[in-house]
Amino acid sequence: MRLEVKKTYKLFIGGKFPRSESGRVYIVNNHKGVFLANVAKASRKDVRDSVVVARSAQSGWAGATPYNRGQILYRIAEMLEGRREQFVAEIRELTGQNEKQANQEVDSAIDSWVWHAGWTDKIDAVAGNMNPVAGPFFNISTNQPTGVVAAFAPQDSSLVGLVNTIAPAIVSGNSIIAISSETLPICAVTLAEVLETSDLPGGVVNILTGNASELGSWLASHLDVNAIDLEGTSNAAELEMLAAENLKRVIRKGSYSRTGATGSLQHILDLMETKTVWHPKGH
C-alpha cells in the first residue's frame, strides 16, 4: 500500500507560501474530531509582513485595466472549477456536509467569482456619476479602491464565506489580508493555491490562518490598513474602536450575506472611495 503524501498547510503572503514566522501551528480536526492537519498559526509579524506586501501590490492591481482584473477573477473561477473535487472533499471532511451540500457550496464559490469578475468594468457605470453642476465645469464622480483591506472571513464557512469576503474587496483594485475561519482553514489554503495559479499578482490577496482574536487588534490598529471587514470576529466592537484611530472604513458583522453565488454591489462600494473631479470648460 502506498503511503499518502500529506500537505503542509502554510500561509499565503505576497504570492508565496511561507510558514508562520513564529513557527507556530495549530491542530485542525475533521468533523469527527480526528486530527487532520497542523495548520500555520499566523502571528503579529505575519500580519505586519502581509500589510507591507499588500500595500506594495495594491497600486499595480488598481492600475490594471478593469478588463484585465475581470479576466483574472474569471480565471480564478476557472481554476477553482478545475479543482472542485478537492474542495468538495475538503469541505466534507472538515464539516461533515453531504456531497450535495458540499457541491452546492463549491458551486456558489465558483459562481461568485464569475459574478464579481463581471463587475470590474461596470462599477462606475452604475455607481459613478456625471454631476450637472451649476457652472462651466465638467464634473464627474468615480469610485476608486480604498487601498489595503483587512478582512475576517466568516467562521462557519469553509470556502464560500471566504470567497465572498475576498472577491468584493479585490474586484475594484484593493489588496486584502484575509483571516480565514479558524476551525475551517483547509479550503483557505487550497484557495490560496488556486489564486497563486490564476495570474493574480502576488500580494493582492494574502490569506492568514490562525486565531482571529489574536490577529484582530494588530490589523484593526494598523495605520496602513484602510478598511476592515469584521464579519468573522468575536470582538467586533473592540476592533471597531481600534479601527477608529485612523478612521478605517468598517464593515460591521452581518452587513452582507456571504453564502451566495452573488455578492452585493454595496459591499463592493463600501470598500471604495468616491472621487469627484472638477474641470473648467472653456476655449
Partner 1 sequence: MFDYSPAPESKDLVKFQASYGHFIGGKFTKPANTFSTINPATEQVLAEVSHGTAKDVDSAVKAARTAYEKTWSKLNGATRGKYLYRIARIIQERSRELAVAETLNNGKPIKETRDVDIPLVASWFFYYAGWADKLDYAGLGANPRAHGVVSQIVPWNFPLMMLAWKIAPALAAGNTVVLKPAETTPLTALLFAEICQQAELPDGVVNIVTGYGDTGAMMVGHPDVNKIAFTGSTDVGRIIAKQIAGTDKKATLELGGKAANIVFEDAALDQAVEGIVNGIFFNQGHVCCAGSRLLVQESVQDVVIKKLKARMENIRLGDPMDKNTDIGAINSKEQLTKIDRLVKQGVKEGGEAWAPSCVIPKNGFWYAPTIITGVSPANTVVREEIFGPVLSVMTFRTPAEAVAKANNSQYGLSAGVWSEKGSRILKMADQLNAGVVWANTFNQFDPASPFGGFKESGYGREGGRHGLLSYLKGSN
Partner 2 sequence: MPTIDPEAVVGSRITNQSLSRWLHSLPGVDKVGLEARTASLGTRSIKTASKAWALDMAIQMMDLTTLEGADTKERVRSLCLKAITPDPTDLTTPQPAAICVYGDMVKHAKEALGKNKIHVAAVATAFPSGRASLPVKIADTKDAVNAGADEIDMVIDRGAFLSGNYLEVYKQILAVKAACLRKDGTRAHLKVILETGELETYDNIRRASYLAMLAGPDFIKTSTGKVSVNATLPITLLMLQAVKDWFDQTKIQIGVKPAGGIRTAKDAIKYLVVVKETAGEEWLTPKYFRFGASSLLNDVLMQRQKLTTGHYSGRDYVSVD
Instruction: Please identify which residue in 137, 155, 234, 264 interacts with partner 2, judged by CB under 8 A.
Output: 137
Residue 237's binding partner out of partner 1, partner 2, none, with CB under 5 to 8 Å set by partner kind: partner 1
Quick one: 98 or 266, whose CB is closer to partner 1?
A: 266
Residue 243's binding partner out of partner 1, partner 2, none, with CB under 5 to 8 Å set by partner kind: partner 1
Quick one: 275 or 279, whose CB is closer to partner 2?
A: 279
C-beta pairs of 30-39 under 8 Å, 24+ apart in sequence: 30/93, 30/94, 31/93, 31/94, 31/95, 31/96, 32/96, 36/93, 36/94, 36/186, 37/6, 37/7, 37/9, 37/186, 38/8, 38/9, 39/9, 39/185, 39/186, 39/189, 39/209, 39/210
Residue 283's binding partner out of partner 1, partner 2, none, with CB under 5 to 8 Å set by partner kind: partner 2
Q: Is 132 in the site for partner 2 (CB under 8 A)?
A: no
Stretch that binds partner 1, among 20-28, 73-81, 202-210, 244-252 (CB under 8 A): 244-252
Instruction: Please identify which residue in 1, 3, 125, 247 interacts with partner 1, judged by CB under 8 A.
Output: 247
Q: Is 282 in the site for partner 2 (CB under 8 A)?
A: yes
Instruction: Please identify which residue in 155, 249, 259, 261 interacts with partner 1, judged by CB under 8 A.
Output: 249
Instruction: Please identify which residue in 23, 33, 132, 136 interacts with partner 2, judged by CB under 8 A.
Output: 136
User: What is the distance between the alpha carbons of residues 270 and 52, in angstroms, rounded to a whole number?
Assistant: 22
User: What is the distance between the alpha carbons of residues 5 and 213, in angstroms, rounded to a whole number?
Assistant: 32
User: What is the distance between the alpha carbons of residues 261 and 163, in angstroms, rounded to a whole number?
Assistant: 10
User: What is the distance between the alpha carbons of residues 30 and 8, in angstroms, rounded to a whole number?
Assistant: 16
Give the residue from 215, 160, 223 showing the smallest Cα distance to 182: 215
Quick one: 33 or 135, whose CB is closer to partner 2?
A: 135
Of 16-45, binders to partner 2 (CB under 8 A) are none
Instruction: Please identify which residue in 8, 29, 65, 266 interacts with partner 1, judged by CB under 8 A.
Output: 266
Per-residue binding letters, 251-280, with partner 2 (x by CB under 8 A): -----------------------------x
Spacing of C-alpha 281 from chain mean position: 41
Per-residue binding letters, 204-243, with partner 1 (x by CB under 8 A): ----------------------x---------xxx-xx-x
Task: Give the shortest CB-46-to-partner 1 separation in angstroms.
Answer: 25
Q: What phi and psi, each to the nearest 5 degrees, are found at residue 120? A: -50, -45
Q: Which residues bind partner 2 (CB under 8 A)?
A: 135-137, 280-283
Q: Which residues bind partner 1 (CB under 8 A)?
A: 126-127, 129, 131-135, 137, 139, 141, 144, 146, 226, 236-238, 240-241, 243-247, 249, 252, 266, 273-280
